Amino acid sequence: MSGMTDMRGGTWVRSFHRWVSIVFTLAVVANFAAMAIGTDAPPQWVTYAPLLPLALLLFTGLCLFVQPYVRRWRGDRGIARVRKG
């Protein structure tokens, strides 16, 4: 069984968010490196490469931000119940 099949809903979003942030960082570093090395503007695909990971980071970041509020709204205490019990 792979690690992705037994993950709960928020865990895979968090893991995906981490990996996409690495891809985004590498795309930004490549963009700056292309600007520093080249005498003229880098190719457009290098310039626009960080936009897709950035959009994914926005979506997953909003999901991670909203999760505690949704859990509280549903009445699921999660970790707080374990600490009190």
Q: pLDDT, tens digit, for every residue of 8-51?
A: 667 899 999 999 999 999 999 999 999 999 888 888 998 999 99
Assess if residue 82 is contained within a domain.
Answer: no
As a whole number of angstroms, the distance between CA 28 and CA 31 comes to 5
Residue 21 domain flag: yes
- Residue 85 domain flag: no
CB of 31 within 8 A of CB of 47?
yes
Structural domain count of the chain: 1
Predicted TM-score (pTM) of the model is 0.72
CA neighbor of 50 nearest in space, from 19, 33, 16, 25 = 25
Is 2 a domain residue? no
Q: What is the pLDDT of residue 26?
A: 96
Residue range of the domain that includes 48: 12-72
| Cα–Cα distance for residue pair 50/25, rounded to 1 Å | 8
Q: For 56-66, how does the pLDDT look when each residue is reduced to its tens digit (9 = 90+)?
A: 999 999 999 99
Radius of gyration of the chain (CA): 19
Q: Is residue 79 part of a domain?
A: no
